[in-house]
Chain A
Amino acid sequence: MGINLSFDMFMQHLINAVGLGSLYGLIAIGYTMVYGILRLINFAHGDIFMLGAYFVFFATVRYKLPWVLGVLTAVAGATVCGLLVDRIAYRPLRNAPRISALISAIGVSFFIENLSVVVFSGMPRPVVQPPLLMKAFSIGGVRLVPLAILVPAISFAMVAGLLWLVYRTKPGLAMRSISHDIETTRLMGVSVDRIIALTFALGSALAAVAGIMWALRYPRVEPFMGIVPGFKAFIAAVFGGIGSIPGAMLGGLSLGFVEIMSIAFFPRLSGYRDAFAFILLILILLVKPTGLMGEKLEDKI
């Protein structure tokens, strides 16, 4: 198990890790926001991610829209789907036992996946990468494409925007309030259903952005593409402390880092990459069950 890692190689791995981790983080935020408010694991989140990627594929490859327009359409489309999921599958169960909503979430997830197989067909489709984003260049011994910088940059910008929204605006205040106590918030005259819908809309929009960037980085879309990233993002959300937005990002980055570095340092064990992710999860749950940033149990969003 010889470990000989040059500085250049380490930097290359680090950049790969940040690219992958920031995408995990972006998806994880959707899980964490919904959980913070409703104590619900929205299993359909990975499928909204997939729909975002498909919409951008159809907009840019099929209907030849310019990229910016295609991205906007895709985000809008996925947001609408996220809202529909909430309206149809979760809202009627708002006062039902939590397990009912969870089962409904799993049902919706299967429904979206299989509907996509019927509508989009099961065949993987190629996504066209804008050549501008793919022009490789080197810094020292590290090779980069602009996309590799753009992905984490956009992810961090999104998180910053979201934090501003949650901690500096009225709807954000309402969201945090709901996470404390739904009934009291309702008594204060806040339209709770609207705020919850807003949460789903935001989470879905972020999932769509992540889906689009994922499709650019790994240029292929297929109906089941959301399962593995969704799963990993869920681990990231729990790892970072479910309910905490910075925690989700931190969890995503840590997971990307562990996955990539486990291969970098232990090339022979490259087949056990997922095992490393789970060992990390088990360790953190043993040592700190609330996750990295989940200490303030009362202030969850």
Chain B
Amino acid sequence: MRRLLLVVFVCLLMTGSAFAADEPIRIGVFNCLTGQNAFGGQLELEGTQLALSEIPEVLGRKIELVVVDNKSDKTEAANAVARLIERDKVNAIIGTYGSALAMAGGEVAETAGVPVMGTSCTNPLVTQNKKYYFRACFIDPFQGSGAAAYAYRTLNFKKAALLIDVANDYSVGLGNFFKQSFISLGGEIVSEMKYNSGDQDFTAQLTEIISKNPDIVFLPAYFAEGAIVLKQARELGAKFRFMGGDAMDNPEIVTLGGDAVEGFLHTTFAYDPSMKDMNPVAQKFTESWKAKYPDKEPNVNAALGYDAFVLVVDAIKRAGSADPDKIRDALESTKDVPTVTGLTTLNATHDAEKELGIVEIKDGKKQFIGTITP
């Protein structure tokens, strides 16, 4: 009798594990597919989906993506993460474009204990004091000081102005880090103007900045807004140059801004389809992107969407399990993983360490003009 029970038990165990092997590993994606940040979110999702088609399985189990739109809205972002965890029971989550959205979603994931891999949310607060939030991108202090150093040292600009979206954590953070670094390098901030997300008229702020005659204006905006700012600045006769952060890195900026974006500079991740010596992962990514989306240029968002997936799968492989806590532990020891945007190491604060790229818009095209290594 006892032996029979044992046999039944073993059989149950085997079928149980057999079921587990068939069960796909579910990776949730929450990103902005509509709303203000839709351009960036959409590209990141396409990057993630491209990565899935190249790495369809890990540990012998199929990977399945569950995609939820956070509508570029903080409340929706929290709801999206709650849905992924409670209803879809995902093992790990990827997302999102937009630091404010990442912070809103991060709270939910933290409580539930599911690891999240951020794509392009670069505000330090996203991973601060978080056990479960990681990110495939570097953070704003690094980016802000890189931008300030480039403006001050390489371009030899001594007077800068700022135009900041006060309703956006990313913009406020990046603007402050630029300001601190620029001042500590010896530069002067001649004007600091503010606006609110959703504003479409910037003429008053720009007229004020023009009167202060800066060499360069740092504009840590999202590109859809940034392009409109650049247009209005040129209409008002602004001669100074503009510089932005990674959120300006989107092929659509030229379509939206036209001639006005000529000469615009921005810091970004070290990937661009126009860059000369690409690493092998970037080469492969560019090729498969062009095969899958022939009428669309890849950009850093697509690359980071791809990288986030690569980092999560790498962690699952090293953990040897799809258990959310084990994935989390494995993510913590991520070191020198080859990704599209360079060798990625996740540091003690769960932020990626990698190179910083500088891009300039020339003749209506993005030109990758160099990298700065930390």
Interface residues of A (CB under 8 A from B): 6, 9, 12-13, 16-17, 19-20, 117, 121-124, 126, 134, 136, 138, 143, 145, 214, 217-220, 222-225, 227-229, 259-261, 263-264, 267-268, 270-271, 273-274
Residues of A within 8 A of B71 (CB): 122
The reply to whether A263 and B38 form a contact with Cβ atoms under 8 Å apart is: no
> Which of chain A's residues have a CB closer than 8 A to the CB of B38?
121-124
> Of all chain B residues, which has the CB nearest A269?
B194
Provide the main secondary structure of the chain A interface.
helix
Cα-based distance from A19 to B236 in the complex (angstroms): 13
In the complex the two chains form, is A143's CB within 8 Å of B237's CB? yes
Would you give the 0/1 interface string for B101-141, flagging 1 where the beta carbon is closer than 8 Å to chain A?
00000000000000000000000000000000000000000
Contact of A228 among B198, B205, B258 (CB under 8 A): B198
Q: Is the CB of A126 within 8 A of B256?
A: yes
State whether B204 touches A225 (Cβ < 8 A).
no
Question: In this assembly, does B200 line the interface, its C-beta being within 8 Å of a C-beta of chain A?
Answer: yes
Q: Does B191 contact A (CB under 8 A)?
A: yes
A13 pairs with B194, CB closer than 8 A: no
A275 and chain B: residue at smallest CB distance = B196
Alpha-carbon distance A253/B35, docked complex (angstroms): 29
Residues of A within 8 A of B150 (CB): none
Verify A260–B204 contact, CB threshold 8 A: yes
Task: List which B172-224 residues lie within 8 A (CB) of chain A.
Answer: 191-196, 198-201, 203-205, 207-208, 211, 224
Chain B 78-89 near chain A by CB (<8 Å), digits 1 or 0: 000000000000
Does B42 sit within 8 A of A, measured CB to CB?
Answer: yes
Contact B224 A16 (CB under 8 A): no
Q: Is there an interface contact between B207 and A267, defined as CB atoms closer than 8 Å?
A: no
**B235 with A264: CB separation less than 8 A:** no
The one of A13, A222, A274 that contacts B204, using a Cβ cutoff of 8 Å: A13
When A122-B35, A143-B237, A271-B166 are in contact, do A264 and B204 touch as well, CB less than 8 Å? yes
Is B231 on the interface with A (CB-CB < 8 A)? yes
15 A-B pairs besides A124-B224, A219-B231, A273-B204 with CB distance below 8 A are A6-B211, A12-B207, A20-B201, A121-B34, A122-B35, A123-B252, A126-B255, A134-B235, A218-B228, A228-B198, A259-B204, A261-B204, A264-B207, A264-B208, A271-B166
- Alpha-carbon separation in the docked complex, A261 to B208 (Å): 11
CB-CB under 8 A from A271, the residues of chain B are 164, 166, 194-196
Residue of B nearest to A4 (CB): B211
**Size bin of chain B's contact surface:** 35 or more
Nearest B residue to A16, CB-CB = B203
28 CB contacts below 8 A, A to B, read: A12-B236, A13-B203, A13-B207, A16-B204, A17-B204, A19-B203, A123-B38, A123-B252, A124-B36, A124-B38, A126-B227, A126-B256, A136-B235, A219-B256, A223-B34, A228-B199, A260-B203, A261-B204, A263-B193, A264-B207, A264-B208, A267-B193, A270-B194, A270-B195, A270-B204, A271-B196, A273-B196, A273-B204
Q: Are A263 and B196 in contact (CB under 8 A)?
A: no
B39 within 8 A of A: yes
Query: Which A residue sits closest to B232, measured CB to CB?
Result: A218
- The list of the 4 closest CB pairs from A to B, nearest first, reads A122-B34, A271-B194, A16-B203, A263-B204
Chain A residues near B315 (CB-CB < 8 A): none
- In contact, B201 and A218 (Cβ under 8 angstroms): yes
CB of A274 within 8 A of CB of B196, answer yes
Q: Give CA–CA (A220, B253) in the complex, Å.
A: 11
Q: Is the CB of B205 within 8 A of A124?
A: no
Please pick, from B205, B237, B258, the residue contacting A263 in the complex, using a CB distance under 8 A: B205
- Looking at A16, A124, A228, the one whose CB has the most chain B CB atoms below 10 A away is A124
Of A121, A123, A227, A229, chain B has the most CB atoms within 10 Å of the CB of A123
Q: Which of B42, B224, B237 contacts A136 (CB 8 A)?
A: B237
Q: Report which residue of B192, B203, B224 has the largest number of chain A beta carbons within 10 angstroms of its beta carbon.
A: B203
Q: In the complex, A259→B256 CA distance in Å?
A: 25
The answer to whether the Cβ of B33 comes within 8 Å of any Cβ in the partner chain is yes
Asked if residues A270 and B211 are in contact (CB atoms below 8 Å), the reply is no
Of all chain B residues, the one with the shortest Cβ separation from A218 is B200
Task: Please judge, given known A-B contacts A12-B236, A138-B237, A263-B208, whether A220 and B203 are in contact too, CB under 8 Å.
Answer: no
Contact B35 A224 (CB under 8 A): yes
- Are B200 and A228 neighbours in the complex by a CB distance under 8 Å? yes
In the complex, chain A residues whose CB is within 8 Å of the CB of B164: 271
Distance between Cα atoms of A263 and B236 in the complex (Å)? 16
